[in-house]
């Protein structure tokens, strides 16, 4: 029991350190025009599957906080949707920015951990990991883009230089491009990492 507790604490500390390292390097937030492709969801997913949904939610909250920090210190034209401290023209970030930045990331950790736990009796471990990573990543993507549309639709369209009437199409396109790339990265890395950890547990 003591060894298990030490493992959990050490693993969580390691994943937090990885998340912080990714935050301050190009590995975590990859610039793509006015948008950023993120890999920060991957440590959240791995933690949720290995330790559980509570730890996954903690990592998700840290991911969300890192998003606020990065978009404040290294702003792009659309950073106001993630940081209440950014102003673009007459558009100000606000409390909704914090909701978009943090809440979807907490639910990312919860949903991934919940799916993984619910499928505990599932014999195909590969499918279990894939489903958990897929659901978690898609949860994050849909809630972030949905929050942008709901809370900042007109302002977001304006700074992107598009008509508000086409915004929904643009966001759906983002899901089919950036979103799919983030899902594929999550599937490949989570599958390798979680299976490797399971193999090490079996040998120890």
User: Is the predicted pLDDT of residue 195 greater than 80, yes or no?
Assistant: yes
Taking 60 as the threshold, does the pLDDT of residue 203 lie above it? no
pLDDT value, residue 201:
59
Mean pLDDT score of the chain:
93
Looking at the chain, the number of H-run helices and the number of E-run strands are 7, 4
Whether the per-residue pLDDT at 1 is higher than 90: the answer is no
Whether pLDDT at 15 is above 70: yes
State how far the alpha carbon of 33 is from the alpha carbons of 8, 18, 71, 132, in Å: 39, 25, 14, 30
| Three-class SS state of 26 | coil
pLDDT of residue 35: 72
Q: Give the C-alpha distances (Å, rounded to integers) separating 85 from 68, 96, 195.
A: 9, 12, 41
Separation between Cα atoms, residue 204 and residue 193, nearest integer Å: 17
CB 39 within 8 Å of CB 27? yes
Band of residue 202 on the pLDDT scale cut at 50, 70, 90? very low
Residue 33 pLDDT more than 80?
A: no
SS3 state of residue 91: strand
CA angle 130, 135, 141 (to 5 degrees): 125
Residues 11-28 have a mean pLDDT of 94
**What pTM does this model have?**
0.94
Q: Percent of the chain beyond pLDDT 90?
A: 79
Q: Is the pLDDT of residue 36 over 90?
A: no
User: What local confidence, expressed as pLDDT, does residue 72 receive?
Assistant: 96
Please provide the DSSP assignment of 104-172 as one string: HHHHHHHHHHHHHHHTTT-S-HHHHHHHHHHHHHHHHHHHHHHHHHHHHHHHHHHHHT--GGGHHHHHH
pLDDT at 123 (0 to 100):
84
What is the model's pLDDT at position 34? 65
The yes-or-no verdict on residue 145 having pLDDT over 90 is yes
Taking residues 25-31, what's their average pLDDT?
Answer: 87
Cross-strand bridge partners of residue 88: 91
């Amino acid at each position: 029991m003591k060894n298990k507790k030490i493992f959990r604490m050490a693993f969580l500390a390691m994943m937090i350190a990885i998340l912080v390292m990714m935050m301050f390097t190009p590995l975590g937030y990859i610039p793509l025009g006015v948008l950023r492709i993120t890999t920060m969801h991957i440590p959240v997913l791995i933690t949720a599957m290995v330790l559980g949904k509570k730890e996954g939610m903690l990592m998700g909250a840290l991911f969300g906080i890192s998003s606020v920090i990065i978009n404040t210190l290294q702003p792009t034209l659309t950073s106001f949707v993630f940081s209440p401290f950014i102003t673009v023209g007459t558009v100000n970030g606000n409390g909704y920015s914090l909701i978009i930045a943090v809440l979807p990331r907490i639910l990312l950790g919860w949903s991934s951990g919940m799916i993984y736990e619910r499928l505990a009796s599932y014999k195909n471990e590969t499918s279990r990991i894939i489903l958990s990573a897929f659901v978690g990543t898609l949860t994050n993507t849909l809630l972030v883009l949905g929050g942008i549309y709901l809370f900042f639709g007109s302002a977001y369209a304006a700074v992107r230089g598009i008509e508000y009437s086409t915004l929904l199409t643009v966001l759906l396109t983002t899901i089919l491009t950036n979103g799919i790339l983030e899902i594929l990265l999550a599937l490949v890395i989570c599958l390798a990492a979680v299976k490797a950890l399971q193999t090490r547990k079996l040998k120890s």
